[in-house]
Structure 1
């Protein structure tokens, strides 16, 4: 399968920028009521030192801090005050603070974090909910990207751009500023927490960063596979992602209608302890459907009646069959609906842990039936794409159909992103029919 016959790399690179920073909690990370005795003592020592400053010195210090960080964040004073509010219960013994003192105290319990200093990778793409200003015959899109900073902590961030009628892609300029979502609601459940986060309407979508907010996510929100999900005549943008706490993982669901407010919920059931779950963009025969890898090697088709409960089992769909995927196969995003069936992009892992991207065609009415499969991958690491944080990897978390092409954002060596376009007809023609002895 020659890539040159239907794959066009656009050389449109999105690279990590260590100059982009957010302010996040420094010092005690837990809720004030959960702080250890030692943490409370140390925090109060810091407060005592701030309160020991005379009013003129305190005001001068706050002005110096604001001048030093000028232009690096929006509404920095509000962030100082919000952090002081979070810590108020721990500071109850100190009585009333002046406004200057509160702001200074807040500043001592925050730090700058370069959220994409190490990597910006594993993208997925959906149509933008606001298509105003789209080019004739084209569309606007939202790109989700996994960002990695100090400590290998992963967060979720976004870009916007346009696809022209001919499939050429352009990405809007990235804002210098960035901010973490505000936690609006937290609901405890037996199996975890539902949380709602939101962003201000100020600024650009590229400023929005969803940072871990629950214990299960504490070391990362990884590999969101967004899809425009059609239900009851409306479009909701949903994504499965991997929550990582530094020791174990589980799959969770995030959903939004506007990319301003988001709800994140843990998935239940035995299938949710695995990575790489990809949701179909609509119900199949009245049920939610997912492609999942339950055993670290093979892909299965599973169903749910409530969207949040996913049990192992289902239909064994695909297993490693060709040399480029002998170690394991997995999803590369949600299935894409074509006239011919469901196009599922897959990744395979081969010799020397080399990742490549292939494709499978599933029956539209019954996606448990495999109609065709690529014997060879159609995206492999090019010589210029082999070096990075994790060498020899090309990977995507979701593509989109545009006219007669697939718009494919993909990651290079777990470091940066590029875009390619794929001609659908040529890709389907290059795939081998299931009835030619493909098996599963």
Structure 2
């Protein structure tokens, strides 16, 4: 095994010391407008125009001469091919979407198919506006590192045109000591390939009930799925329904609702030769059509010792927000699904890294302003939340929530919080929860751990420092954090010093 070069130790800039606790490291990750994907583009439909313009575009592509098509496609491949993984495949798939508008018996040549696909494809800069709100977990690949170093997988909220958010990634190496560096974010991006995934029937049943679909039509579909020997196919279940139920006036709407709920389970797989920083989790379901925001990743250890990666994120459709779940065994295959139950509301759920008392636990902010605790038997359906930490200090007068999953220490669960105070200033604080009973706050930091300093007061959203999760390595808490909702910085603090500064709660 070849070790990487010795990492450069970055000494803290005296000007950027938060206090005698916090070190701000001279590492900044900024938005890169060159990080683009090739997404489907449907002129007219993209702007909510009343009529699609696709038919006219198809007709004009068909009217071009072969020589002109050859020249156009050669130029497209030369310009855009190096910027995208499998550019030809992307264009071919997009052409297939509008192919029904091509009148038979016309048969498109491979070259004309590529041109047709290019007319319905557009580049999108996933970080065209900002990159912010990171979380950190240990990377699944720790090979090639010197003793004392740890490779991090950083999740990022990437914000592009129209304030549309997706989930991107970066890779950093921390240690030994206070050394920290980013690995290069090079190569074309990929949004992966959707792969089949099947609902567990009980889970689908619970989701349909949560969505208000608990009627005879729904029950007939679910019963048909239960009777299937091969796990069940939704369309086959629809086809086997009694005709009397299908004639009911509301049946069509109910079946559409079932399809909509069933479609909220998605799985995407990325090429094995793609780097983590090249992978983008792109919105795929209606509830996240306007963005996937603020993923809080955690490395979860099951009772049998199995480890996987999980995250909650906020799905936004332009009107409503709701939490969704990501699970991944290796950060290459990702499954996303909805969360349900009374506590699965609002923003900012954060999962505990293991079961506590035999149950899944999560922090939440269901009422919009209070840090709460919720429990679940399966990690999917969440019980009503219990308030844990309310806004009391001056720096959290408006609201308080979490900055990622709780971190287990010998003294308790260390929870980084975000407080919103006067002038909507976001700061990072800390509380300590009892290990056995995390509904009990045993200590709290009396002042913010991290506050926007002068150089951080400006940005896409001014006066904000915010994190979606840090981790402890070699006795030091490492905290990647968004600055002004526009860029990402890195801070660290010795854990023992932080715990010693916290004031016990009576």
TM-score bin, normalised by smaller chain: over 0.9
Cα distance, 1:3 vs. partner? 3.8
In structure 1, what is the equivalent of residue 373 of structure 2? 301
In structure 2, what is the equivalent of residue 56 of structure 1? 67
Asked if residue 263 in structure 1 is aligned to residue 278 in structure 2, the reply is no
Asked if residue 244 in structure 1 is aligned to residue 255 in structure 2, the reply is no
Asked if residue 14 in structure 1 is aligned to residue 25 in structure 2, the reply is no
For the pair shown, which has the larger CA radius of gyration, 1 or 2?
2
Q: Distance in 1 between matches of 2:329 and 2:109?
A: 40
Q: Distance in 1 between matches of 2:281 and 2:44?
A: 17
Aligned pairs for 1:352-431 (under 5 A) are 352-431=423-502
Asked if residue 150 in structure 1 is aligned to residue 161 in structure 2, the reply is yes
In structure 2, what is the equivalent of residue 275 of structure 1? 347
Task: Find 1:344's aligned residue among 379, 395, 415.
Answer: 415
Task: Find 1:161's aligned residue among 165, 172, 177.
Answer: 172
TM norm structure 1: 0.93
Task: Find 2:91's aligned residue among 80, 96, 103.
Answer: 80
Aligned pairs for 1:306-345 (under 5 A) are 306-313=378-385, 315-345=386-416
In structure 2, what is the equivalent of residue 108 of structure 1? 119
DSSP-derived class of the 1:259 partner? coil
DSSP-derived class of the 1:4 partner? coil
In structure 2, what is the equivalent of residue 438 of structure 1? none
Q: Distance in 2 between matches of 1:90 and 1:46?
A: 10
Contact 1:24 1:180 in 2 (8 A): no
Question: Deviations along 1:275-331, whole A, 9 cap, x unmatched?
Answer: 000000001111100011111111111100111111323x32110111100100001
Asked if residue 184 in structure 1 is aligned to residue 195 in structure 2, the reply is yes
Cα distance, 1:395 vs. partner? 0.2
Question: Deviations along 1:70-121, whole A, 9 cap, x unmatched?
Answer: 4222221111112123333454646422111211111111001111011100
- Name the count of aligned residue pairs: 428
In structure 1, what is the equivalent of residue 364 of structure 2? 292
Change (3 A) 1:293 1:94: farther
In structure 2, what is the equivalent of residue 217 of structure 1? 288
Out of 182-191 and 343-352, give the one that drifted further: 182-191
Q: Distance in 2 between matches of 1:187 and 1:16?
A: 36
Asked if residue 233 in structure 1 is aligned to residue 244 in structure 2, the reply is no
Cα distance, 1:128 vs. partner? 0.7
Q: Distance in 2 between matches of 1:356 and 1:196?
A: 35
DSSP-derived class of the 1:71 partner? helix
Q: Distance in 2 between matches of 1:287 and 1:297?
A: 25
Question: Which residues of structure 2 form unaligned runs of 5+?
Answer: 1-16, 212-260
Out of 70-79 and 223-232, give the one that drifted further: 70-79
Cα distance, 1:379 vs. partner? 0.3
In structure 1, what is the equivalent of residue 58 of structure 2? 47
Q: Which runs of 4+ in 1 moved over 6 A?
A: none
Contact 1:167 1:407 in 2 (8 A): no
Contact 1:167 1:402 in 2 (8 A): no
Cα distance, 1:425 vs. partner? 0.8
Q: Distance in 2 between matches of 1:47 and 1:22?
A: 23
Change (3 A) 1:5 1:344: same
Contact 2:291 2:316 in 1 (8 A): yes
Cα distance, 1:392 vs. partner? 0.4
Larger fraction in strand: 1
Change (3 A) 1:115 1:202: same
Q: Distance in 2 between matches of 1:37 and 1:298?
A: 43
TM norm structure 2: 0.81
DSSP-derived class of the 1:64 partner? helix
Question: Deviations along 1:354-395, whole A, 9 cap, x unmatched?
Answer: 010000111111111111001110100010000001000000
Cα distance, 1:187 vs. partner? 6.2
Cα distance, 1:242 vs. partner? 0.2
Change (3 A) 1:172 1:45: same
Question: Deviations along 1:187-217, whole A, 9 cap, x unmatched?
Answer: 6853531001121123322111111111100
Question: Which residues of structure 1 form unaligned runs of 5+?
Answer: 436-440
Cα distance, 1:176 vs. partner? 4.7
Out of 268-277 and 201-210, give the one that drifted further: 201-210
Contact 1:187 1:195 in 2 (8 A): no
Contact 1:125 1:409 in 2 (8 A): yes
